[in-house]
C-alpha cells in the first residue's frame, strides 16, 4: 500500500468518488464536498478534516479517524442521495449499530473515533483481538486480507507513536498463530488468506522479539525481591485489588509498601521463576515502545563467553540475546543456563522456500498463556497507571 503523505485538499468536490485500499498520512481535507463515504478499507492516519461532511460509514470502514481531528465537520447517517440525519458524537455508536451488525473491528473504529483511550485497554479492543471474529471474516478472502493487514499496520503505527502498549501486538501475534494452525493443513483455504495471516505474523515478530529480549534481561537481572516505584497509597489492600492479576495462586507476594520520594516503593517476593516471569511480563507488556527501549538500555550488558574453535579462541555474545531465563532451578546448573524459550528466523529448506519464524518453548501450550498474558487488555491498564518504574539491582544497592 503506497502512502499518500502531507496532501492538502481544499474546496474539493468529490461526486460519487470512492477511494479503497489507500494510506493517507498527515493529510488535510478542508471545505470539501462529499456525496458518499469517500473512503473504504483505508488507513487515515493523523489527518485533519475541516468543514467537510463525513458519513458514519467513513468512520466504521477505515482505521485511524478520530473526533479530535475534526473541526466543524457534520457527520451524516447515510448517503445524501437518500434520507439521512446528522449524528452527534454522543449517539454515534448507537446510530452506527442501529440497523446493521458491525464486525468487532468496525466497533473498534467507532470506539477509537470517540476516544483514543480505547487503545489502552477496552472491550472493543479485546473483541477485535479475538480469533473467532477473524474466522468469520475468512469467508470473504479479499476483505479478510485487507482488514487484517490494515489492522496490523494501524496497531504498529500507534505503537511507534507510543500510543499503544506492546500487549495488543502480542495478542494479535497469537491470533495469527491460531489462525495459521487452523488453516495450515487445509488445502481448500484461499492462498490470499494464508499469505495475509503469515505476512502479519512475520510483521509482528520483530516487536515480539524485542519484548522477549527485554523480559529475558529483566528476569536475569532480578534478585529474590522485585521493587517498583509506584503511584498509589501506602495501603497494601489497594495494590492487591488493582494488581490482582499477579497475585493469583499466591506465588507473588507484596511484602512491603514504603515511601519513595513522592511515589511509593512496592517490594514483591516471588516463589518460583515462573511467578517471577509472570510478574515481570505483566509489567513489560504494559509498556509502550519507548519505555521498552529504555528498559533494554538500562539492562546490564550480556555476559560474554569464550568458545574453542580451530586456530584459537573466539569471544562470542551470551545467550541473553535470544534465550530467556530458566523456568526452575536444577541442582548444579545456573538459572540462566536453562532455556525457557528460543526462536529462529529464516527460509525453510523445502521447495517452497518460505520465510518462517520457529519458536521453541519448554513451557507447554501457548507462551502467552503460560506468561498469563492471554488476558483482557483492560487488566493491564492499572499496571501501566500504578507501576511507574522497575528498580534495577544497581539502583537498589545505591
Where do the structural domains in the chain lie, given as residue ranges? 1-105, 215-302+316-397
- Answer whether 390's CB lies under 8 Å from 228's CB: yes
pLDDT at 3: 79
d(CA 156, CA 45): 12
Question: What integer pLDDT is reported at residue 11 of this predicted model?
Answer: 85
> Which secondary-structure segment (H or E) carries 33?
strand 33-34
Rounded Cα–Cα distance for residues 286 and 264 (Å)? 19
Distance CA(94)–CA(166), nearest Å, equals 30
Q: What is the pLDDT of residue 364?
A: 35
Rounded to whole angstroms, the Cα distance separating 216 from 321 reads: 8
| pLDDT tens per residue, range 68-92 | 999 999 999 877 777 788 988 888 8
Pairing of the two strands 225-230 and 75-76: unpaired
pTM of the model: 0.84
Residue 159: other Cβ atoms inside 10 A: 19
Cβ proximity of 326 and 277 under 8 Å: no
The confidence score (pLDDT) of residue 14 equals 85
Q: Per-residue DSSP letters for 332-356?
A: TB-GGGS-SEEEEEEE-SSTT--EE
Which residues, 6 or more positions from 360, have their beta carbon under 8 angstroms from its beta carbon?
339, 341, 342, 343
pLDDT < 50: residue spans in the chain: 315, 317-338, 361-365
Amino acid at each position: 500500500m503506497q502512502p499518500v503523505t502531507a496532501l492538502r485538499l481544499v474546496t474539493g468536490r468529490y461526486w460519487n468518488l470512492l477511494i479503497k485500499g489507500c494510506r493517507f498520512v498527515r493529510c488535510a481535507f478542508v471545505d470539501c464536498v462529499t456525496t458518499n463515504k469517500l473512503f473504504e478499507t483505508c488507513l487515515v492516519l493523523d489527518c485533519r478534516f475541516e468543514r467537510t461532511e463525513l458519513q458514519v460509514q467513513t468512520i466504521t470502514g477505515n482505521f485511524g479517524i478520530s473526533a479530535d481531528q475534526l473541526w466543524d465537520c457534520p457527520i451524516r447517517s447515510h448517503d445524501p442521495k437518500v434520507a439521512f440525519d446528522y449524528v452527534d458524537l454522543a449517539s454515534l455508536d448507537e446510530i452506527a449499530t442501529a440497523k446493521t451488525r458491525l464486525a468487532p473491528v468496525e466497533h473498534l473504529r467507532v470506539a477509537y473515533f470517540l476516544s483514543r483511550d480505547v487503545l489502552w485497554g477496552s472491550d472493543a479492543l479485546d473483541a477485535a483481538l479475538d480469533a473467532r471474529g477473524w474466522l468469520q471474516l475468512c469467508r470473504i478472502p479479499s476483505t479478510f486480507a485487507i482488514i487484517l493487514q490494515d489492522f496490523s499496520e494501524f496497531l504498529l503505527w500507534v505503537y511507534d507513536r507510543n500510543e499503544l502498549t506492546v500487549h495488543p501486538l502480542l495478542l494479535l501475534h497469537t491470533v495469527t498463530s491460531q489462525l495459521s494452525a487452523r488453516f495450515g493443513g487445509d488445502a481448500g483455504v484461499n492462498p490470499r488468506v494464508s499469505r495475509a495471516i503469515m505476512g502479519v505474523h512475520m510483521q509482528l515478530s520483530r516487536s515480539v522479539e524485542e519484548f522477549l529480549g527485554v523480559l529475558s534481561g529483566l528476569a536475569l537481572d532480578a534478585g529474590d525481591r522485585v521493587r517498583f516505584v509506584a503511584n498509589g497509597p501506602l495501603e497494601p489492600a489497594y495494590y492487591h485489588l488493582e494488581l490482582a492479576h499477579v497475585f493469583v495462586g499466591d506465588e507473588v507476594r507484596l511484602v512491603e509498601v514504603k515511601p519513595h520520594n513522592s511515589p511509593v516503593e512496592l517490594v514483591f517476593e516471588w516463589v518460583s521463576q515462573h511467578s517471577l516471569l509472570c510478574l515481570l511480563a505483566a509489567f513489560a507488556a504494559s509498556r509502550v515502545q519507548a519505555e521498552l527501549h529504555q528498559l533494554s538500555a538500562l539492562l546490564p550488558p550480556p555476559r560474554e563467553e569464550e568458545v574453542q574453535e580451530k586456530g584459537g579462541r573466539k569471544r562470542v555474545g551470551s545467550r541473553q540475546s535470544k534465550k530467556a531465563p530458566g523456568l526452575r532451578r536444577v541442582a548444579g546448573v545456573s538459572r540462566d543456563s536453562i532455556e525457557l524459550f528460543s526462536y529462529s528466523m529464516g527460509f525453510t529448506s523445502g521447495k517452497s522456500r518460505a520465510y518462517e519464524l520457529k519458536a521453541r518453548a519448554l513451557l507447554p501450550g501457548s507462551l502467552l498463556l503460560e506468561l498469563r498474558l492471554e488476558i483482557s487488555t483492560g487488566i493491564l491498564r492499572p499496571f501501566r497507571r500504578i507501576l511507574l518504574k522497575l528498580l534495577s539491582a544497581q539502583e537498589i544497592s545505591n
